[in-house]
Amino acid sequence: MATASQAPAGTDLQQMAQRHLWMHFSRMGGYGPDHEIPIITRAEGCYVYDERGNRYLDGLSGLFCVNAGHGRTEYGEAAARQVEELDFYTLWSYAHPKAIELAARLATMAPGDLNRVFFTSGGSEAVESALKLARNYHRMHGKGQKHKVIAREVAYHGTSLGALSATGITELRSQFEPLTPGGCHVPNTNIYRWPEERDPLWAADAIEERIVFEGPETVAAVILEPVQNAGGCFVPPDGYFQRVREICDQYDVLMISDEVICAFGRLGHYFGCERFDYVPDIITIAKALTSAYAPMGGMIASDKVAEPFMEGDASFSHGFTFAGHPIAAAIAMANLDVFEREDLPGHVLRKEGEFRQMLESLHDLPIVGDVRGAGYFHAVELVKDKETKESFNDEESEKLLRGFLSGELYKRGLICRADDRGDPVVQLSPPLIADTEQFEEIHDVLHSVLAEAWDQVVG
């Protein structure tokens, strides 16, 4: 039996959380009697409530995932109907109706010839699966040396050791090395930090240079997000993805579009690649596939990539017990029904200009250096000097983000992400149902808290 706990102050839930719950990516030692763990107990629409009944605008959609908004009981009803019919069956050598229907629906929605859906339980598993598929695909074509993956600096692709080899965030990687071999990194599209005269396709060309440097016969895939989350919503310059597509075709390298965040309306389209008009070989999905009402992910592969595994006695020797779980699949179907009925991607396209304008209006503050993103996925970069774009050093950034902003934004009722995996940014990714009322609320909190942050850290 575990040893008795030292009881921290606060409610029963608070005590139990502090003693027994291991939160992810969290400094557990920072919690105590004077610093409580935020406990969210209830949610509705764009809002969540804590155990004391305080209301927060969920400006992050959970973790970029509750795209349809909170509290849709019809998803629970779909889950209940599914339990009555078939609680669980596996996709290992069997199929069941909901996984079949969902796969067919996703194939219809996906661009080009991306017709084959492999389900997983989440995003890291989706990326892991895509990387394994890329290696195996080349092996099936007699090119087993092709195993490397090219990803972008500061990009986040998940935490399992394979996905982590694609993740380009040194602090997340270094503690767990050696990782799965083959991860190579190239510059991202942090255009705000580029010299003005730089060729817009510089970062795309860097991918070609890296493929040539590594030896094309060793490179299996390039993985990129339509809009890169970590670092703060880096958008591609015009023509970037078209050039990457050309490069991939030229060197027989698979193009993986990691849409764990960018799919399902986040950028105003069902898939992020549609926003930038490219067709990858594999799309990875998770998060908003079910609007996070159940854990589910997957990859959608093109016919070309799937074909070698569909013939004779070939198989893709890979799988997860819960992948394509009937209840998750039923919820995903209900979620897609809501997306269609309410035209959530269309709503984002109609409203993103207003959302963006609200964020742009923060430029009157000295701390706001850049506003960037697409759809309902934006970042505000914080700087020490607007003119020179000078950023905060590590110590200032720590004080700014963890010492002030994260806590203060939360205290004032706004959940968003204050992040410094690149330069310091505040990120917003509200539920796709968010409208003028929520934009105004975001503006009011952000404006006053960012003004205060300037006084605290710089002033």
Ligand X SMILES: Cc1ncc(COP(=O)(O)O)c(C=O)c1O
Q: Contact residues for ligand X (CB under 6 A)? A: 122-124, 127, 156-158, 225, 229, 258, 260-261, 286
CA distance 165 to 149: 8
Rounded least distance, CB 4 to ligand X, Å: 33
Rounded least distance, CB 125 to ligand X, Å: 7
CA distance 102 to 264: 14
Q: Compare residues 222 and 260 and give the one whose CB is closer to ligand X.
A: 260
The CA–CA distances, whole Å, from 145 to 210, 218, 253, 314, 336 equal 16, 5, 12, 19, 40
Rounded least distance, CB 261 to ligand X, Å: 5
CA distance 312 to 9: 63
Cβ-Cβ contacts under 8 Å for 279 (sequence gap 6 or more): 111, 112, 114, 245, 273
The CA–CA distances, whole Å, from 132 to 113, 136, 247, 320 equal 20, 6, 21, 13
Q: Compare residues 229 and 397 and give the one whose CB is closer to ligand X.
A: 229
Q: Compare residues 158 and 231 and give the one whose CB is closer to ligand X.
A: 158
Q: Output the CA torsion sign for 212, 214, 217, 220.
A: negative
Rounded least distance, CB 160 to ligand X, Å: 8
Rounded least distance, CB 399 to ligand X, Å: 26
Q: Compare residues 8 and 158 and give the one whose CB is closer to ligand X.
A: 158
Rounded least distance, CB 295 to ligand X, Å: 8
Residue number of the CB atom closest to ligand X: 123
Rounded least distance, CB 248 to ligand X, Å: 18
Give the helix, strand, coil percentages of the chain, each rounded to 5. Answer: 40, 15, 40
Residues paired with residue 149 on neighbouring β-strands, in sequence order: 183, 221
Rounded least distance, CB 182 to ligand X, Å: 17
Residue 392, amino acid:
F
Q: Compare residues 234 and 392 and give the one whose CB is closer to ligand X.
A: 234
Q: Compare residues 260 and 457 and give the one whose CB is closer to ligand X.
A: 260
Cβ-Cβ contacts under 8 Å for 388 (sequence gap 6 or more): none
Q: Compare residues 25 and 94 and give the one whose CB is closer to ligand X.
A: 25
Q: Is residue 297 within 8 Å of residue 315, measured between CB atoms? A: no
Rounded to 5°, the CA angle 342-329-61 comes to: 50
Q: Compare residues 227 and 453 and give the one whose CB is closer to ligand X.
A: 227
